């Protein structure tokens, strides 16, 4: 590969393995510090769209493949492939425009969930961003977007009006429901092996709910199955405005003594109501005050804003950890899922680990299929986020994580492509889609990237 020719074609840095910057260029922005032994032939830190076009045309001319990195947050690091060109979008960081009256915004791909809300909320507007504050728009939208207020706002990709992208032919195009609609369909849910490089997202904005209130309850670890069955029974009768989750986490300091016999573990239930008045929020949260088991502690109907929501979510998923994740969908009771994993929990090697189940509320769950690649709908979503800090603990945590996923296997109906280990297990990729959508996605890849310029879901993981 004539890297000097590529350097001359690009304004941004082009970094080869013999460059002292190369290790940081391929590893520096990765969220998961459990870093695999894979590396591209060269990194292009694109300065603008023209750099992306130049890199793709260079790849086509030289018979090499391309992979794209947004924020580097994906847990299984699919942007690290063996060989090819890694196009890094880290410089695409601005809010291009906000039309408050028209409830429309245009953003670049490397803007975090937190920063999107920070730009919109003072204007009385919001967007169905993801939960983790640091996650960037690029990977979030390409995975479909597991959003705040999901039953009302839907997935993040449902509130996209259009995208601007560079195609596998090196052309800059716009895709929407009326212009290049097949590409727009695929961009909303295809995941990290989408056959294009998105450079702008056009957002359809929503009014900021005037009353965001939250309740948090802590229960004994042993009560998790019973609480899960109760929540599963109550969720269909609760307001769709309530985002409801059940966790296994380490107890907060005030409950350490109460949880000592369970190695500090407790069951936590959180509920956030996105409503227009405090009275409506209180009414939506009221059913959770009728739990059949006495809570160790509770805080109810607490007024919140997105900054506080992000702070709470970010605290559960700290930076600088080594991680394994497999998040799946299920139509079983959350109590049954808790029963399946609870016998394994005393052997959890790391106190940083979190088990999360999101329980979708309202009578119309699971919801209907939307006209986009993102496919999975179910009553419950979640799984183990196995997180630890020391390399010496890699094997113990990997073994425990595999035991957890095996225990949950009988209950799952599909995967969330953005939070599953598609690098080590590419066979699970089709299980993130309905059969019909998977077949359509494959046909579209054949049509729009017939020369396979972009790495597919299986390529570049085993060897050069």
The chain-wide mean pLDDT, for the chain, equals 96
Backbone φ/ψ region at 203: left (φ over 0), alpha (ψ -120 to 50), beta: beta
pLDDT-derived band at 147, boundaries 50, 70, 90: very high
The architecture of the domain spanning 3-91 is: 2-Layer Sandwich (3.30)
**Is 143's pLDDT higher than 60?**
yes
Q: What is the pLDDT of residue 462?
A: 83
Q: What are 175-208's pLDDT values in tens digits?
A: 999 999 999 999 999 999 999 999 999 999 999 9
Q: What percent of the chain has pLDDT over 90?
A: 98
As assigned by CATH, the class of the 95-207 domain is: alpha beta
- Three-state secondary structure string covering the chain: CCHHHHHHHCCCCEECCCCCCHHHHHHCCCCCCCCCCCCCCEEEECCCHHHHHHHHHHHHHHCCCEEEECCCCCCCCCCCCCCCEEEECCCCCCEEEEECCCCEEEECCCCEHHHHHHHHHHHCEECCCCCCCCCEHHHHHHCCCCCCCHHHHCCHHHHEEEEEEEECCCCEEEEECCCCHHHHHHHCCCHHHCCEEEEEEEEECEECCCEEEEEEEEEEHHHHHHHHHHHHHHHHHCCCCEEEEEEEEECCHHHCCCCHHHCCEEEEEEEEEEECCHHHHHHHHHHHHHCCCCCCEEEEEEECCHHHHHHHHHHHCCCCCEEEECCEEECCCHHHHHHHHHHHHHHCCCCCCEEEEEEECCCCCCCCCCCCCCCCCCCEEEEEEEEECCHHHHHHHHHHHHHHHHHHHHHEEEECHHHCCCCCCHHHHHHHCCHHHHHHHHHHHHHHCCCCCECCCCCCCCCC
The domain segmentation of the chain, as residue ranges, is: 3-91, 95-207, 211-426
Same fold flag, 3-91 and 211-426: no
Q: Within 13 Å of residue 232, how many CA atoms lie on the same side as its CB? A: 20
Predicted model pTM? 0.96
Q: Of the candidates 438, 361, 370, which has an alpha carbon nearest to the alpha carbon of residue 193? A: 438
**Is 382's pLDDT higher than 70?**
yes
Q: What is the pLDDT of residue 153?
A: 97
Q: What is the pLDDT of residue 1?
A: 81
Q: What percent of the chain has pLDDT over 70?
A: 100
Q: What are 407-454's pLDDT values in tens digits?
A: 999 999 999 999 999 999 999 999 999 999 999 999 999 999 999 999
Q: What are 249-289's pLDDT values in tens digits?
A: 999 999 999 999 999 999 999 999 999 999 999 999 999 99
pLDDT-derived band at 463, boundaries 50, 70, 90: low
CATH topology of domain 211-426: Vanillyl-alcohol Oxidase; Chain A, domain 3 (3.40.462)
Q: What is the pLDDT of residue 370?
A: 95
pLDDT-derived band at 464, boundaries 50, 70, 90: low
């Amino acid at each position: 590969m004539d890297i000097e020719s590529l350097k001359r074609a690009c304004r941004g840095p082009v970094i080869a393995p013999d460059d002292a910057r190369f290790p940081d260029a391929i590893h520096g922005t990765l969220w998961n510090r459990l870093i695999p032994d894979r590396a591209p032939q060269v990194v292009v830190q694109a300065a603008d769209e023209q750099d992306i076009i130049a890199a793709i045309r260079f790849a086509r001319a030289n018979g090499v493949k391309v992979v794209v990195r947004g924020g580097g947050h994906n847990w299984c690091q699919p942007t690290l492939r063996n060989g090819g060109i890694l196009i890094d979008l880290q410089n695409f960081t601005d809010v291009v425009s906000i039309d408050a009256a028209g409830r429309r915004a245009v953003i670049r791909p490397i803007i975090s969930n937190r920063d999107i809300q920070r730009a919109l909320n003072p204007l009385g507007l919001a967007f169905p961003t993801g939960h983790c504050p640091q996650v960037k728009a690029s990977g979030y939208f390409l995975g479909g977007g597991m959003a705040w207020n999901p039953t009302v706002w839907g997935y993040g990709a449902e509130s996209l009006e259009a995208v601007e992208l560079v195609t596998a032919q090196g052309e800059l195009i716009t895709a929407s429901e009326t212009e290049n609609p097949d590409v727009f369909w695929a961009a909303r849910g295809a995941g990290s092996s989408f056959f294009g490089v998105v450079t702008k997202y056009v957002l359809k904005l929503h009014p900021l709910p005037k009353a965001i209130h939250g309740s948090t309850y802590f229960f004994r670890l042993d009560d998790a199955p019973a609480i899960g069955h109760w929540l599963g029974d109550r969720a269909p009768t609760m307001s769709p405005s309530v985002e409801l989750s059940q966790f296994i986490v380490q107890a907060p300091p005030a409950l350490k003594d109460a949880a000592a016999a369970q190695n500090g573990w407790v069951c936590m239930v959180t509920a956030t109501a996105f409503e227009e008045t405090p009275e409506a929020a209180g009414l939506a949260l009221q059913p959770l005050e009728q739990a059949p088991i006495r809570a160790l502690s509770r805080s109810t109907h607490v007024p919140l804003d997105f900054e506080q929501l992000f702070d709470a979510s970010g605290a559960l998923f700290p930076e600088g950890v080594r991680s394994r994740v497999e998040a799946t969908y299920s139509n079983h009771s959350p109590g049954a899922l808790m029963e399946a994993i609870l016998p394994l929990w005393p052997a959890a090697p790391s106190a940083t680990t979190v088990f999360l189940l999101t329980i979708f509320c309202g009578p119309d769950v699971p919801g209907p299929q939307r006209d986009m690649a993102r496919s999975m709908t179910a009553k419950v979503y979640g799984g183990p986020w196995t997180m630890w800090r020391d390399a010496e603990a890699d094997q113990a945590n990997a073994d425990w994580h595999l035991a957890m996923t095996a225990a949950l296997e009988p209950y799952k109906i599909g995967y969330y492509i953005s939070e599953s280990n598609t690098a080590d297990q590419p066979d699970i990729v089709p299980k993130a889609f309905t059969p019909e959508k998977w077949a359509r996605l494959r046909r579209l890849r054949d049509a729009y990237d017939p020369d396979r310029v972009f790495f597919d879901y299986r390529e570049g993981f085993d060897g050069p």
